[in-house]
Every structure is written in C-alpha cells, then in structure tokens.
Amino acid sequence: MAEEQKEEEEVAIHGDVLETILSYVPLTHLLPACFVSKTWNAAVSSSLSRFNKPKPWLLVHTQSIRRPHATAFFAYDPRSDIWLQINQKQPPQHVSPLRSSNSTLLHVLHPSNFSFSIDPFHLTWHRVNPPAVWRLDPIVAMVGPRIVVAGGACDFEDDPLAVEIYDISARTWERTESMPATLKDSASSTWLSIAANTRTVFMMEQASGVTHSFNPDSKTWYGPFDLRPDRSIYFSVITCVGDNLIMLGLLGDAEDVNYVKVWELNGESLEFGKEIGVMPTDLVEKLKGEGTSLNSVRVSCMGGFFYIYNPGEPGELVALEVGEEGWCRWGSLKNAAVSDRSRVAERVVLTCSDVGLGEIAKLVGSGNGIFTLLKR
C-alpha cells in the first residue's frame, strides 16, 4: 500500500496536460517555469506556440507635468488579460514632454539633445544631438533605420516645414526637402496623423483626410491623396500594419457619431482595399467617457492588435483584434494607468510592442524592472 501511494505521488504532469495548464499562466510567470527542467522548458515553448500564443502588449507611460516630471510605467497583456505595473529602479528622467509615434518609438526633444528609445520595454535610451531646426510639436516617425523629424518648428525659424533625417547607424542628421506647402497650416503632430512602414512615412490631415507620403531613401514627397471613402467622415487617423495602411474614421459629427469604421489601404497606391469593421455602438459611447461628444481618437497598434482611445478621456480603451482570415473582435478595457490625479496632472503616452519571454527575460535580467500585478 505504501509503495502504491509513493508511485501515485511521483506521477509527473507532462505532455498536453502540462501544456494546457501552462496556457493559463501569465507570461511573466512562465519565465521561472522555463528553468524547472528541460522538459518544462520544452513544454512552455510548445504551449506558447500551440495553445495560447503571445500577443502584442499595450504599454502606457505617464509623466507628471510638474517638476521633476516623474514617470510611471504600466503594461496590459491581452494574452492573459492582466494589467501590470513595471517598477523601475532607475526610471528615465525627462525634463521635456515624453511623446510617442503610436508605435514602439518613444522620444523626447530638448534644446540640447534628442532622446529616443525603440525596444519594447524602453530599457535603452539613445541621446544624440538635437536637429538643427528648433521645434515644439514636430512629426516624428521611424522609417527603417532612420528617424524622420518634420514640421512643428518655432515661429522664429525660417522654414516651418523643415525636414531632417537622423540615421541611427551613422549617427548623423541630414537636412532634406521640406514638407509640401499644402501642409503649412497643419505641419505638427497636433493636426497630422502619422504612420510609417519600413520604407515610407505617411502624414494625413486628421480633419480633411488630405495625405502626403515621404520616402527617406529617395528623399521624395508624393501626394496629395484624398483619403475620404465617405464624405461624412469628420476625423480620421492612420497607422501601418506591415506594408499596408489602416485608417480609422469617425462618421457624422462630434456631437452625434454615426459610426466608427476601420479600412485597409494598399501601402503603395493608397487605394482602399476593404472595410475591416465597424465599432459597436456601446463601445463608441465608452470612448466618449463622461463627455457628450467625440472630437478625436488616437490608435496604437502592433500586428493585428489595435488599441483605440479618446485623448480627452483616456480612462477607457477599445481593443480591436483582426485575424489573418479577415475576422475582427472588438472589446473594451479600463486603462489602469489613469486615475483622477493623472487626468489633470499627468501626460499619458501609449506604445505597443511584441513581447515574448525573451523581452521579459531582458527586463528582469537588467535589474531595472519588477512586475506588479494590478487588481482589476
């Protein structure tokens, strides 16, 4: 009897049973499981590839508008549907406003330097000389191995449409052809929506849909293009998935939003391909928050995951997942980084990144990040 009991106690969990169990474990907790044994390491890898694959994380950065401009860092993992706070032992200190380009790129522009970070958890910050033209609210986009900085120039600068390109490998700035004159009255990130793939940056007037594109290799501007498939669109934003362009438009007017629609466009011709989906009415109401109107939205995306929010009411986020087969799934989530204090005293900046066990291991191994699970 004692031997039978001992055998039962020593029965190991393995195979599909173990992999199924691991599929319910948050990604941050799977890292130590990899070191239990070679069998567990293989089971973790198999579980992540077969049962519950990693999904792009939403990363939310808050920065106090008061000195010393303290920052905080939060993350949402859609695979496990959890919010985490990432406690940094040495959080970055930025005197100037922290900004993003709705991608993995975070940047800070100061009279004495230009700082940027492109890794998922922003462990590494690159601090370089500032662009020659002093700017307050420029368009900033990463296009392949280059960062394009355009417009947003101060009033005392000679050319408000000036464009400069920073080559990350060569660590040099280059002045190039200015933005088209048609963008003179809207040449800042306040009025333009920006999207970039590995070859081209797209700049669209949010109110009119008038769009131009710029190729840093050939240093050539193209356009204008009219991106208005429906004349009832009063506001729109763009982003890139792969080589293609994705456009999200608000239809009707700010006081009475009829629809929020999402389209896919060809990244070369900018021709509309298909309508991806229409946001459910109840989610449109959530985007309004406590307000009665919806004047604008922002979107941060990676792959087929889109996080949409109202910059005036960032406490509620709408999530859209688009499958390769064309299906789309809508949902909403509370922004755990937003509090009553942050609404009035903090800047909220969003990025989106692919995060796997490798990225989590780098953060933990750096000694500059501890994950804390936040209560729902």
Here the CATH number for the domain that contains residue 265 is: 2.120.10.80
Q: What is the dihedral of CA 216, 236, 269, 231, to 10 degrees?
A: -150
pLDDT > 70 fraction of the chain, expressed in percent and rounded: 94
pLDDT at 56 over 70: yes
Which residues are CB-neighbours of 133 under 8 A, at least 6 positions away?
Answer: 153, 157, 159, 162, 164
The H or E element that residue 299 is part of is strand 298-302
> 3-class SS at 125?
coil
How confident is the model at residue 126, as a pLDDT?
Answer: 95
Q: Per-residue confidence at 68, pLDDT binned at 50, 70, 90?
A: confident
pLDDT at 10 over 80: no
Q: Which residue has the tokens 């809508």?
A: 330
Is 324 part of a structural domain of the chain? yes
Q: Is the whole-model pTM more than 0.85?
A: yes
Q: What is the CB neighbour count within 10 angstroms for residue 366?
A: 14
pLDDT at 349 over 70: yes
Q: Quick one: tokens of 47?
A: 């579980």
Is 8 part of a structural domain of the chain? no
Q: What is the CB neighbour count within 10 angstroms for residue 269?
A: 9
Gap between the Cα atoms of 152 and 186, Å rounded: 9
Q: What is the CB neighbour count within 10 angstroms for residue 29?
A: 13
Strand order across the beta sheet in which 146-150 lies: 139-143, 146-150, 163-167, 172-176
Is 30 part of a structural domain of the chain? no
pLDDT at 145 over 90: yes
Comparison of pLDDT for 145 and 342, the residue scoring more: 145
How confident is the model at residue 289, as a pLDDT?
Answer: 86
How confident is the model at residue 8, as a pLDDT?
Answer: 46
155-164: list long-range contacts, CB under 8 Å, 24+ apart.
Answer: 157/133, 159/133, 160/184, 160/187, 161/187, 162/133, 163/214, 164/131, 164/132, 164/133
Is 2 part of a structural domain of the chain? no
- State the sign of the Cα–Cα–Cα–Cα dihedral 231, 271, 298, 108: negative
Is 65 part of a structural domain of the chain? yes
Q: What is the CB neighbour count within 10 angstroms for residue 340?
A: 8
**Terminal CA-to-CA distance of the chain, rounded, Å?**
47
pLDDT at 302 over 70: yes
Q: Mean pLDDT across the chain, nearest whole number?
A: 91
Least confident of 94-103, 107-116, 173-182, 187-196: 94-103
pLDDT > 90 fraction of the chain, expressed in percent and rounded: 78
Q: Per-residue confidence at 88, pLDDT binned at 50, 70, 90?
A: confident
The length of the chain in residues reads 376
Q: What is the CB neighbour count within 10 angstroms for residue 99?
A: 20
Do 5 and 26 contact (CB within 8 A), yes or no? no
Q: Quick one: tokens of 45?
A: 């890898």
Comparison of pLDDT for 273 and 4, the residue scoring more: 273
Gap between the Cα atoms of 133 and 138, Å rounded: 10
Gap between the Cα atoms of 314 and 296, Å rounded: 12
Q: Per-residue confidence at 340, pLDDT binned at 50, 70, 90?
A: low
For 316, the domain range is 54-373
Do 277 and 320 contact (CB within 8 A), yes or no? yes
Is 19 part of a structural domain of the chain? no
Is 136 part of a structural domain of the chain? yes
Query: Closest Cα partner for 235 from 184, 280, 193, 287?
Result: 193
Is 264 part of a structural domain of the chain? yes
Question: Model confidence over 119-131: pLDDT tens digits?
Answer: 999 999 999 999 9
How confident is the model at residue 189, as a pLDDT?
Answer: 93
Supply angle C-alpha 220, 143, 248, rounded to 5: 95
Question: Model confidence over 236-259: pLDDT tens digits?
Answer: 999 999 899 999 999 999 999 999
pLDDT at 274 over 70: yes
pLDDT at 299 over 70: yes
Q: What is the largest CA-CA distance in the chain?
A: 91
How confident is the model at residue 7, as a pLDDT?
Answer: 47
Q: What is the CB neighbour count within 10 angstroms for residue 156?
A: 6
Number of folded domains that form the chain: 1
Do 234 and 196 contact (CB within 8 A), yes or no? no
